[in-house]
Amino acid sequence: MIPAHNEARTITPLIEYLEHLELKSTIIVVDDGSKDDTATLASLYGVTVISHERNLGQWAALRTGFYRALSSGTEAIIAIDSDGQNDPAYVPDLLRPVKEKRADFVIGSRFMNGTRPEMPIHRYVGIRTFNVLIRLLTHLKLSDCTSGYRAYSARLLTELLPTLKENQYGALEAVIKSAKLGARILEVPVPSIKASKSSKGSLRYWYNLTRVVVKSSFFHASNG
């Protein structure tokens, strides 16, 4: 499941790599109102392309793709960014614990085994801070809570999706609500690839993550 907003430069090599993995899976691209050729390029491959008429946000795109994946009766769903930041070679590593039913939610972490990925200091400190907040709220010990490279079981997503409200900054909402739903969450190591562009990292980004953490902390799973 590939959310894509103006990723014409990087979407083609990503799809080609995923096809070469021969995962016996469906590739879904959600073109989030791109103004470039993202949708046209993706359509050249035998993949499902869903286009939002206008840009709705990263997590709105993810939700659209998740609903489509669930309707196809899949067991496991993986989300991978299309800006070149997530190395698709690790897709099998992320899917494995879900397929083996050892986990409901697998996060590709750039910080495991003491690695310190190349990123601006404010981003590094921010992620560390949110890891601590998540731990206080959910008792979950994560090293990379904002990573967008994640695999989910269909069982968890069926329960989680109707609870998700954020259109853009949903990464922590999904973690906190999954934890409260009792999901088995684990991390696997992935290397960090430096982004060629970063649309986030501003004060607005951190403000929104904080807002989402506070809001999500009031979520109560109906099953307890």
Ligand X SMILES: Nc1nc2c(ncn2[C@@H]2O[C@H](COP(=O)(O)OP(=O)(O)OP(=O)(O)O)[C@@H](O)[C@H]2O)c(=O)[nH]1
Binding of Mg ion at residue 85 (CB under 5 A)?
yes
Contact partner, 158, from Mg ion, ligand X, none, Cβ < 5-8 Å per class = none
Indicate which single residue of 96, 165, 184, 200 sits in contact with ligand X (rule: CB under 6 A).
200
Q: Whole-angstrom Cα distance, residue 140 to residue 52?
A: 34
| Least separation in angstroms between CB 137 and ligand X | 21
Interface positions, 154-183, toward ligand X (CB under 6 A): none
Total number of residues binding Mg ion (CB under 5 A)?
3
Contact partner, 157, from Mg ion, ligand X, none, Cβ < 5-8 Å per class = none
Nearer to ligand X, 146 or 178 (CB): 146
Q: Whole-angstrom Cα distance, residue 90 to residue 22?
A: 13
| Least separation in angstroms between CB 221 and ligand X | 26
Interface positions, 77-96, toward ligand X (CB under 6 A): 81-83, 85
Site map 169..208 versus Mg ion, x via CB under 5 A = --------------------------x-------------
Beta carbons within 8 Å of 191's beta carbon, 6+ residues apart: 87, 90, 110, 115, 117
Q: Whole-angstrom Cα distance, residue 202 to residue 195?
A: 15
Count of CA atoms in the C-beta half-sphere (13 A) of 152: 26
Structure tokens, 201: 């990292």
Indicate which single residue of 88, 97, 108, 148 sits in contact with ligand X (rule: CB under 6 A).
148
Indicate which single residue of 40, 158, 199, 202 sits in contact with ligand X (rule: CB under 6 A).
199
Burial class (CB in 10 A: 0-12, 13-18, 19+), 96: middle
Per DSSP, helices labelled H in the chain are 8-20, 38-43, 58-71, 91-99, 121-138, 154-160, 171-180, 203-217
Q: Whole-angstrom Cα distance, residue 123 to residue 110?
A: 13
| Least separation in angstroms between CB 182 and Mg ion | 30
One-letter amino acid of 137: L
Beta carbons within 8 Å of 138's beta carbon, 6+ residues apart: 175, 176, 179, 180
Site map 34..63 versus ligand X, x via CB under 6 A = ---------------------x-xx--x--
Chain residues in the site for ligand X (CB under 6 A): 3-5, 7, 32, 55, 57-58, 61, 81-83, 85, 148, 195, 198-201
Chain residues in the site for Mg ion (CB under 5 A): 83, 85, 195
